[in-house]
Structure 1
């Protein structure tokens, strides 16, 4: 597990996924068998690795990636490093015959992402890319509605994501400074467009065109040492995506927006038979039979609460941590050969969409999104 000293690698992948699987007695494979994951922590900061290992009673950690990859007892290489370091590390892991599981984006550009997918295919290894949003309770409820035909014909998807990330001069920022330097692989487009690609692809249909406006609203921020630096990466991206089947998606992503919604990300889906608003955990619906008839009258105050006219979708199930749920599927894929389609080619689609979004904004054009193949 390379990159577990970072916030996401530690909290979601080590603590809430791998260690959580161990705490439940391993992953039940059926027939009385259980898979017991043994994490080997890898990173550049020896003191941080040692501290994490001691905190959780782990014994295996190293700052020498090459030595770890040479260990024949290790089956899987997981990468949660900064994007700029990811490609070369995964290439080494593929060459060492390891199965690959990685955070996204898988590479800084489409050529690099496709190269990884081809190398993995040719090596005959199993590979997967983290696509956590589709395992969240709110989007699982949304998928339940889609599969049940609730919407009729889906017409449009509207997404709002983001929050105010403090600049760092008078309050500590919530995100590391490299996120705001393009030379270090930062930028909200390369971060979030890969998420939107798989959310749209999995729930509504393949993205066929993209048109985007991408900008840096705050040109100067302060780093972890309190020193000012130029923010060379984008901090807001406004995208319009046409989907296979005719629906249109509009998704705003911003680290310069103050939240006036129920959750940090929300998707409104409108169809001929009904609509839904889904967030990380909640999902609310309004069927056409219960849709009110608002009348536009700017001379009078609103007499009804529009939010109160929506119905909550019940859980009807227990939802596990989304990262853990996907880890379990990937481990079953490696151990049992069960089907798994969130692979490095799927990861390349996300990189492709981010690349085309940046190009769209730079050139002021709408671009078709070609289907990828190896």
Structure 2
């Protein structure tokens, strides 16, 4: 069968995430494999048009990867009917206006999260996309990771029995930037630039929780700015105005309680940078980005609390590794392929702008809970 071509305007590819995960490991990897396989056995190849603010960076990136199409003029890119799909990996502060332009141009939209800076802004995008009849999707990359795919397999199989609770730890030490360069860009720590770990991570936690364990019904959170001063990319000291840690309790459907800690001020004493422990009546599991271990009730040990004696058994050795039972592709690439099939062949892709709305809504609720010191109950959202 002949290979079709789908033009993609890629905005924000000079940033770390836009370049590494979306251009290099997704779109270019898809091109190298000969395109996206469609249900009818044919393929669609991607034709990227790179967009950004820095002409020199775009030209260098295009040359490095053998690409010929790039521009600093977003309006011109959106005006080219050879590119019906728009992708956005810009800073959150400028994303909403660009997506509106893409919707007005009749382009299908695939975007990083948060989709906008507020629930109202995200809802406006969902309504505009619905009125324009354009397909839309939001990156939900964590769902495609090997560890969480294994965890989903366990949930779907009924391994846990009745799920009781979820406990998650995410984070690592991000250097302040004075004596060692920071591993994250400085805007992450400025609220005025869209920074903050709550806005960043609660959008992830919302889709992880609702797709594996149940929708979030209420949240109680406490945020903090543990490190008030940092140093930017030029070595200049600045005041951190955004939260760098968030501690939250999420109440899910069917009575499941989730406790998730998110911090850029924690030193890692885990196997992976993020881990989730799920406890159920029939068994428990601990999943990270790649690994997943289980302990069914039939082999659960019988610990006895005795602070006077040193513990002799190794609790970690009593868990069993869940096998891969297959090959796992890059999570970002896998969702790119799913969304391309949605655009070209109308196959399902449930992670739309409304999913993005629920993500930013949870972030707003977490910040409100911390500011007001109270539990925030969430309702339904609809276009």
Instruction: Place the TM-score, normalised by the shorter chain, in its bin.
Output: over 0.9
> Match of 1:195?
204
1:327-364 alpha-carbon deviations (Å, 9 max, x no partner): 00000000001111100000000000000000000000
Offset from partner CA, 1:69-99 (integer Å, 9 cap, x none)? 1111111100000000000000000000000
Residue 36 of structure 1 aligns to a residue in which SS?
A: strand
Alignment partner of 1:235 is 2:244? yes
2:58, 2:316 → 1: CA distance? Answer: 47
Q: Using the alignment, how far apart are the partners of 1:198 and 1:273 within structure 2?
A: 25
Report the equivalent of 2:37: 28
Partner residue of 2:218 out of 199, 204, 209: 209
CA distance in 1, matches of 2:380, 2:219: 13
Per-residue deviation at 1:59? 0.4
1:166-218 deviations in whole A, cap 9, x for unaligned? 00000000000000000000000000000000000000000000000001000
Q: Which residue of 2 aligns with 1:247?
A: 256
Structure 2 residue 232 is the aligned partner of structure 1 residue 223: yes
The equivalent of 1:47 in structure 2 is 56
* Corresponding residue to 1:85 among 94, 97, 102: 94
1:53-202 correspondence runs (5 A):
53-202=62-211
Alignment of 1:341-360 (within 5 A): 341-360=350-369
- Distance in 2, matches of 1:57 and 1:195, equals 33
Q: Secondary structure at the match of 2:246?
A: strand
SS in 1 for 2:101: helix
Q: Return closer, same or farther for 1:36/1:211 CA change in 2, 3 Å cut-off.
A: same
Where does 1:277-356 land on structure 2 (aligned, <5 Å)?
Answer: 277-356=286-365
Question: 1:31: Cα distance to partner?
Answer: 3.8
Q: Flag structure 1 segments of 5+ consecutive residues without an equivalent.
A: none
Match of 1:264 in 2: 273
Q: 2: distance between equivalents of 1:232 and 1:297?
A: 45
CA distance in 1, matches of 2:40, 2:149: 28
**Secondary structure, aligned partner of 2:11:** coil
Partners of 1:44 and 1:308 in 2: how far apart?
52
Q: State how far apart, in whole Å, the 2-side matches of 1:216 and 1:20 are.
A: 38
Distance 1:244 1:275 in 2: 19
What is the Cα deviation at residue 32 of structure 1?
A: 4.5
For residue 28 of structure 1, report the CA deviation from its aligned partner: 1.4
CA RMSD across the alignment: 0.6
Q: Could you tell me how far apart the structure 2 residues matched to 1:134 and 1:50 are?
A: 33
SS of residue in 2 equivalent to 1:234: coil
Partner-residue secondary structure (3-state), 1:4? coil
Task: Specify the SS of the correspondent of 1:353.
Answer: helix
TM-score, normalised by the number of residues in structure 1: 0.99
Measure, in 2, the Cα distance between the counterparts of 1:33 and 1:357. Answer: 45
Q: Secondary structure at the match of 1:340?
A: coil
Aligned residues between the structures: 374
User: Helix, strand or coil: the match of 1:171?
Assistant: coil
Structure 2: runs of 5 or more not aligned: 1-9
Q: Does 1:13 align with 2:18?
A: no
Partner secondary structure for residue 267 of structure 1: strand
